[in-house]
């Protein structure tokens, strides 16, 4: 894994509680992404960031918010967790510009269960 | 609406056989087509990628075939091995847009 850590790696929480997942990178890449992965749905983009304090919504952003106050950290918050948000969450990073490939590098994932 | 349609959803191949996974797209502005490989419990990782100015790209046992007129691209795994058992995702993107459009994935099992 290209210098990306996610915490926690596993979490069980109750419906209605707020949850924050953290993605930390040591690559100094500009772009960061949060995906969720569910059987039959592939990878779905929740939010992404194109710089510090610059974020935008993905295709499944309802019920989620993000923050990026430093280049290396991208936080995903479930404001009031629901059972439908039980999933595996992946963070990814990428960089742009001459010499950089278009590749996205993924973290190890966080398995979240909402009971 | 799925912009990149991937098939089959699952695939079982015997060791030594050829695994073929197909993807079709509609947006002719797509100009970068990667394949990602994901092992259980891990994040996806780039396997191989192609641009539409070439019809084929080969890296070891893995080959991407690209048919621009048909708007299709496929991944071929030659001499498939049990260690190739994983989920494979195709994807596409447009220009400098940093977002990838993903297929739904294919679960490949290679029997020994």
Whether pLDDT at B74 is above 60? yes
**Interior angle at CA B38, CA B34 and CA B44, nearest 5:** 60
B 27-66 near A (Cβ less than 8 A): 32, 34, 41-46, 49
List the structure tokens of B2.
Answer: 């799925």
The torsion region of residue A30 among left (phi > 0), alpha (psi -120 to 50) and beta comes to: alpha
Q: Does B102 touch chain A (CB under 8 A)?
A: yes
Ranges assigned E (strand) in chain A:
4-7, 10-13, 19-25, 31-38, 42-51, 54-57, 64-70, 73-78, 87-94, 105-106, 110-114
**With an 8 Å Cβ cutoff, is A109 touching chain B?**
yes
Over residues A46-86, the pLDDT tens digits come to: 999 999 989 999 999 999 999 999 999 999 999 999 999 99
B46: chain A residues, CB-CB within 8 Å:
101, 103-104
Which residue of B34, B41, B103 is in closest CB contact with A42? Answer: B103
pLDDT of residue B57: 95
């Amino acid at each position: 894994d290209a210098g990306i850590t996610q915490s926690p790696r596993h979490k069980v929480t109750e419906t209605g509680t707020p949850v924050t997942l953290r993605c930390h990178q040591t690559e100094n890449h500009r772009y960061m992404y949060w995906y969720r992965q569910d059987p039959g749905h592939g990878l779905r983009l929740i939010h992404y960031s194109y710089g510090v304090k610059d974020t935008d919504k993905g295709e499944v952003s309802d019920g989620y918010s993000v923050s990026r106050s430093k280049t290396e950290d991208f936080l995903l918050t479930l404001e009031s967790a629901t059972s439908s948000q039980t999933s595996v969450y992946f963070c990814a990073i990428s960089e742009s510009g001459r010499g950089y490939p278009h590749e996205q590098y993924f973290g190890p994932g966080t398995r979240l269960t909402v009971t | 609406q799925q912009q990149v349609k991937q098939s089959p959803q699952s695939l079982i191949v015997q060791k030594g056989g050829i695994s073929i996974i197909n993807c079709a797209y509609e947006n002719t502005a797509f100009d970068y087509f990667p394949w990602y490989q994901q092992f259980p419990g891990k994040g996806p990782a780039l396997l191989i990628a192609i641009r539409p100015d070439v019809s084929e790209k080969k890296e070891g046992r893995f080959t991407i075939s690209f048919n621009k007129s048909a708007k299709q691209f496929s991944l071929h795994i030659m001499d498939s091995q049990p260690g190739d058992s994983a989920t494979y995702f195709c994807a596409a993107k447009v220009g400098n847009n940093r977002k990838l459009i993903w297929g739904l994935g294919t679960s490949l099992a290679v029997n020994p």
